[in-house]
Amino acid sequence: MAASSSMKRNYNVFLSFRGTDVRHGFLSHLYAALKDKGIHTFVDREELRKGEEISPTLMRAIEESRIATIVFSENYASSPWCLEELLKIMECKEQNDLMVVPVFYKVEPREVREGERVIRELWITMSASSGRIQRKDERDEADLIQCIVKELWIRLKQTPLHVAKYPVGIDSRVQELICLSQKKSADDDVLMIGLWGPGGMGKTTIAKALYNAMMRQFQIVVDPLTIYGVARGISLIQERLCRKKVLLVLDDVDHMNQLNALAGKGNWFGKGSIIIVTTRNKQLLTSHGINRVHRIQTLGSCEARDLFCLHAFLDSKSVDIKMDLIDRALHYCGGLPLALEVLGSFLSGRNEAAWESALHRLSKSPDQTINQVLKTSFDGLDNDERRFSSILLVSLRERE
């Protein structure tokens, strides 16, 4: 997965095109329509070009865009400049989570001869990810432009969820779950994934990251529902969503009636739908017939140390702490992400005496669980800090 959530995005859309084919006609109208919609779009100027090399300004613009729209025209692939731009776009798609929307203008993909390998790979990639590809057939050009603008507007609304300040160990777990989801049988029209484990394990965090990784396989559909009761709500879900491919996340489910009301049966949703459920109760998942049940494990020793230190030592000016104190803190956290985050943040900037005091209190608890870590961190605050942190600690408990 690309670690691009913190990347600066100066542009909504980057337009890649062959100027001699479309600059003064189709492209100028498309740019105007995007501007009218409030979509901040980058269009290169001729002066940015130096020979046949892509300029640093263009490279930065691609990196800082959320979507790249490539207008494939008759002579696009005959330009070394365009192909270099295309390669940069594909690189950013893989590394920076750049969305790519190709537009074939008055050509079919097979008609674009030069650079065939690159374009064919793009075609396969977009087709595999259910990317919407617009073509210029006999339809009115104004209709085509409005269709493109609508598609880009929908994609721009697909804003990833914030996952974590320091997403240590998240990517590997999400990739494992994606592999799990791909092993479904031919009969699994709707896939239900259950994530379970005790509080503090990071179930919600992983569910959000999994949602971000999968959401672009789905379209945003504006389908407002006015629900006056559970029974009516169930009927509306079945009626409105039975033919739609949906991505649904049900977080912190603790009662069967919640599952029965929101995702009672797979046939409530269209083929290809994915339902993600997080809970502390494994039996709830198996009783409901969830296709794939996955227990969230604690962090390994290296990941736990990385996450703890990121919170405990925010900068190079942090005080020096003996290694055995760090090891003791890690022992009490037991690999629980929430405990590592809370205890690391509590100890951040404090001297060794404060560390000794906090860890001594933890050592006196026979049940060294996340709640004890939270309590120890809270008890060590002064009155002003307690008033501020009580809200945070309640939030942290409820989050898992």
Domain boundary among 156, 183, 200: 156
Residue 5: inside a domain:
no
Q: pLDDT for 240-271, tens place per residue?
A: 888 888 999 999 999 999 999 999 988 899 98
Indicate the residue among 128, 156, 184 that finishes a domain. 156
Identify which of 101-115, 122-136, 314-328 has the greatest average pLDDT. 314-328
On whether residue 162 sits in a domain, the answer given is: no
Report whether pLDDT(179) > 90: no
pLDDT at 2: 42
Residue 396 in this model has a pLDDT that exceeds 70: no
pLDDT, mean of residues 156-161: 79
* Banded pLDDT at 144 (limits 50, 70, 90): confident
Contact 133, 277 (CB under 8 A): no
96 and 33 housed in the same domain = yes
Q: How confident is the model at residue 188 (pLDDT cuts 50, 70, 90)?
A: low
Query: In terms of domains, do 56 and 78 share one?
Result: yes
pLDDT given at position 304: 95
Q: Say if 164 falls within a structural domain.
A: no
Domain containing 245 equals: 170-295
- The reported pLDDT for the residue numbered 397 is 44
What pTM was estimated for this model as a whole? 0.67
Q: What is the average pLDDT across 337-361?
A: 87
d(CA 334, CA 45): 56
pLDDT value at residue 129: 47
Q: Is-catalytic flag, 85?
A: yes
**Residue scoring higher pLDDT (369 or 211):** 211
Higher pLDDT, 1 or 13: 13
Determine the number of helices (DSSP H) and then strands (DSSP E) in the chain.
Answer: 17, 9
Query: How many domains, in total, are found in the chain?
Result: 3
| pLDDT tens figures, 160-174 | 888 998 999 999 999
Lowest mean pLDDT among 134-138, 236-240, 260-264: 134-138
Per-residue pLDDT, 361 = 78
Burial (CB count <10 Å: 0-12, 13-18, 19+), residue 77: buried
Residues 34 and 116 in one domain: yes
Check whether 353 has a pLDDT greater than 60: yes
- Looking at the fold, whether 233 and 361 belong to one and the same domain comes out as no
In the block, tokens 């055995």 appear at 324
Is 273 part of any domain?
A: yes
1 domain residue, yes or no: no
For the stretch 364-383, pLDDT in tens is 764 555 565 556 555 555 55
Whether 161 is covered by a domain: the verdict is: no
Three-state SS for 84-117 is HHHHHHHHHHHHCCCEEEEEECCCCHHHCCCCHH
Q: Are residues 284 and 341 in the same domain?
A: no
* 37-49 confidence digits (pLDDT tens): 999 999 986 545 5
Is it the case that residue 134 has pLDDT exceeding 60? Answer: no
Beta strands in the chain (DSSP E): 11-16, 41-42, 65-72, 99-104, 134-135, 191-196, 247-250, 274-279, 292-295
d(CA 209, CA 252) in angstroms, rounded, equals: 15
Q: Is the pLDDT of residue 290 over 60?
A: yes
Residue 82 domain flag: yes
Q: How confident is the model at residue 387 (pLDDT cuts 50, 70, 90)?
A: very low
* Mean pLDDT value of segment 131-154: 73
Mark whether 279 and 339 lie in a shared domain. Answer: no
From 124, 156, 188, the end of a domain falls on 156
* Same domain? 21 vs 141: yes
Please report the pLDDT score of residue 221 as a whole number.
58
The reply to whether 163 falls in a domain is no
Looking at residues 101-122, what average pLDDT do you find?
Answer: 66
Instruction: Tell me, yes or no, whether 235 and 276 share the same domain.
Output: yes
Model pLDDT, residue 189: 81
Give the strand order in the sheet containing 191-196: 247-250, 274-279, 191-196, 292-295
- In this structure, the chain runs to a length of 400
First to last CA, the chain: 24
% the chain with pLDDT above 70: 74
Distance CA 83, CA 67 (A): 17
pLDDT of residue 78: 82
Residues 326 and 285 in one domain: no
Top-ranked range on mean pLDDT: pick from 126-140, 215-229, 274-288: 274-288
235 and 146 in one domain?
Answer: no
pLDDT at 128 > cutoff 70: no
Quickly tell me which residue has 């330009």 as its tokens.
79
Pair (82, 112) in one structural domain: yes
Looking at the fold, whether 136 and 253 belong to one and the same domain comes out as: no
Give which of 193, 211, 188 is closest to 272, Cα–Cα: 188
Of 46, 47, 85, 94, the active-site residue reads 85
Q: How confident is the model at residue 130 (pLDDT cuts 50, 70, 90)?
A: very low
Q: What is the dihedral of CA 218, 223, 228, 233, to 10 degrees?
A: -40
pLDDT above 50 (res 394): no
Phi, then psi, of 65 in degrees rounded to 5: -105, 150
**Cα(349)–Cα(314) distance, rounded to whole angstroms?**
8
Does residue 392 contact residue 381 with C-beta atoms inside 8 Å?
no
